[in-house]
A and B are shown apart, each in its own frame.
Chain A
Amino acid sequence: MSDNAINKSSIKRNDTGLKVVIYIVSVIFAIMTLFPFVIMITNSFRSTFEIQQSTLGMVSAHPFENLAKNWNEITNKEFHPLVGFKNSFIISTLSTILNVYFSSLTAYAISAYEWKLRDAFNNMIVGIMMVPGTVTTIGFVQIVYKLGLTNKLFLFIVPAIASPMTVFFMRQYLQASLSMEIVQSARIDGAGEFRIFNQIVVPLMKPAIATQAIFGYVASWNNLFMPLILLTETEKKTIPVMVKLLNGDIYRREYGAIYLGLFVTVIPLIVVYAFLSRFIVEGVALGGVKS
């Protein structure tokens, strides 16, 4: 009895020590995460001259005047956040819809039907997953040049139909959650194959679709490599391509404008994240590879 009690109390003491360490490290990481954003936001409200005095000063005497000045500074040149938002929004939304729908369809085909070469097809998907994006780049760019399709937004929308990574995830999810009996009974009731997919399988896959949609949307929104090569007209540039301008010579030393430009590109992401974060952080479990 007494032995047991001692054991328990020592575990308890151990716990408090460990907890203190956990909190200290977590808080340090939280500060590390927030620090750059805090600097960015405060400096958006300060003039370049004030920033040159010190980056760390908190509040300026005329925050909104400075904000307006910085805003004029960035929009007078080539940086047009609204155009970028529009293009990014079109690309990300349409490509995410295509990506998720067709990936679920493919995943369903792989896991629900027996067909020749099914395993080979599945292995091919895993294989293509490993191909680095660069390998596709040169071939893709060449084809685009050949067909004369530069500066077309659909270049980044249509290829989303085939995204092996999402198919892999969806298949993993389907294998765990789809029972063939439901499909069979629907067939007996006379439902067509597409109707089965749209009305039974898609609702079943909602959690996986949601997580993949979020990941796909973020990846598409943040994509820089290909748009940088293929979108050269200002009217067609997406947000990441616009952001690159902030690094160029035209904004040299206009620190207030640079910080504000960065801040503007982050705002929609932060707003969306504020609503969806809980869902993302916990929802990943649902779409994840179950072991």
Chain B
Amino acid sequence: MTFTLYPILYTFFIGFTDLAGAGNMSPHLLTTDKGGNKPLFDNFVAVLTNANFQKAFKNTVTIWTLNFIPQMAFALLFTAWFTDRRSKVKGQGLFKILFYMPNIITAATLAILFNVLFGYPKGAVNDILLGLAKTFGVKKDLLASDPNAWKLAISYDFNNNGTALKLIVAFVQFYQWYGYTMVNLIAGVIGISPEIFEAAEIDGANRVQTFFKVTLPCIRQILLFVLVTSLIGGLNMFDVPQLYAGEKKANGAVMTLNMFVRSQGLDNRYLYNKAAAASVVMFIVIVILSSILFYILRDKDEAKLKKLRKQELKALKKGM
């Protein structure tokens, strides 16, 4: 436990100190004389009012939402389809294996691969665009007179446009994680006893009803697990945006919170205290959001049971 707990506590501590500068190893609390006699929460105030931090926060939430909603939607859809008892989909084993595959590939590799694919002026996506434009005769006159100018007019510089960058990074995240989510959800559904589905069938529930009223409530635990891990993973997003575009591309369009922390603490700036404060803020956000999720998806019956048991115990003790 020391390997995990000690760095965490140490990070919290650094957040309240003056630790900055390369090679500086001796932190002093901000309120003391050596620490500059500043208010204790100085680093936190500085981070929260930092324009780049706010931008990173917004970017992270935007990219996460853009990735998370389709990811959950398609994962649930494929789960519903592949576990449906009435229409057994053939070849689903192969599909599952294919869909899960991007998840095992190094994220760094995927980021650079997609970067090359969306390259400008030469890249696979732009080549497809050019091919389509040619078949459908877009700007025919220009193509006839000046093919090179036509090529430039049709192809698109994805990697320098903020919105395009956000969408692509969200897509790469989606591409990498929907299979993982699906596999986890399917595992949950397989764990449900088939009798429950038979009962639903006999009661005349149709597919949609069965899925929403029987399947989903039964996999609540695994849903919670998937939601929480995806939330944490999403807020920690780093590999793909860092390697796809970096902090500065398109005015920092895909700078995420983790990239902000790294750039503060370790990119020739060495503002360890600010970086630590920023990561503590991230931690607080994650704890709040996860608690909300836990609260929404809590097992209501189990909570009631626990309460009852406690009351019984109390009554017993009183009786004794």
Contacts and interface: CB of A to CB of B under 8 A. Distances in A.
Interface of A: 11, 15, 18-19, 22-23, 25-26, 29-30, 32-34, 36, 39-40, 51-52, 54-56, 128-143, 145-146, 158-159, 161-164, 218, 221-222, 224-225, 229, 239-240, 243-244, 246-247, 255, 258-259, 262, 265-266, 269, 273, 277-278, 280-281, 284-285, 288-291
A36 B228 CA distance: 29
Given A132-B236, A277-B100, A284-B183, A55 B123 contact: yes
A162 B186 CA distance: 28
B309 to A, nearest CB: 14
A30 B91 CA distance: 12
Identify whether the interface residues of A are mostly helix, strand, loop, or mixed: helix
Given A137-B261, A139-B8, A265 B266 contact: no
Contact of B115 (A158, A247, A290): A247
A269 B105 contact: yes
A-B pairs with lowest CB-CB distance, top 5: A139-B10, A139-B7, A139-B11, A285-B187, A291-B221
B132 to A, nearest CB: 12
B276 A141 contact: no
Given A132-B286, A158-B3, 17 more contacts: A29-B74, A29-B98, A56-B131, A132-B235, A134-B279, A134-B282, A135-B12, A138-B11, A138-B272, A138-B279, A140-B7, A143-B10, A159-B4, A162-B3, A218-B103, A290-B221, A291-B219
B127 A56 contact: yes
Interface residues of B, number: 95
B308 to A, nearest CB: 18
Interface in B1-24: 1-14, 19
A32 B178 CA distance: 13
B187 to A, nearest CB: 4
Contacts of B12: 135, 139
B188 A225 contact: no
Contacts of B5: 128
Contact of B116 (A139, A222, A258): A258
Given A224-B107, A225-B258, A259-B116, A159 B225 contact: no
Contacts of A137: 7, 11, 261-262, 265, 279
Contact of A244 (B191, B243, B266, B276): B243
A39 B2 CA distance: 46
Contacts of A273: 101, 104
Interface string B94-106: 0111111111111
Contacts of A246: 112
A4 to B, nearest CB: 12
B145 interface: no
A243 B109 contact: yes
B250 interface: no
A15 B86 contact: yes
Between A134, A136, A288, the greatest number of chain B beta carbons within 10 A of the residue's beta carbon is seen for A134
A291 B218 contact: yes
B105 A266 contact: yes
B6 A134 contact: no
B190 A139 contact: no
A158 B1 CA distance: 11
A13 B84 CA distance: 16
B257 interface: yes
Contact of B25 (A54, A146, A247): A146
6 contacts: A15-B86, A132-B258, A132-B279, A133-B236, A142-B10, A285-B186
Contact of B261 (A39, A134, A239): A134
Contacts of A18: 87
A133 B188 CA distance: 27
A243 B127 contact: no
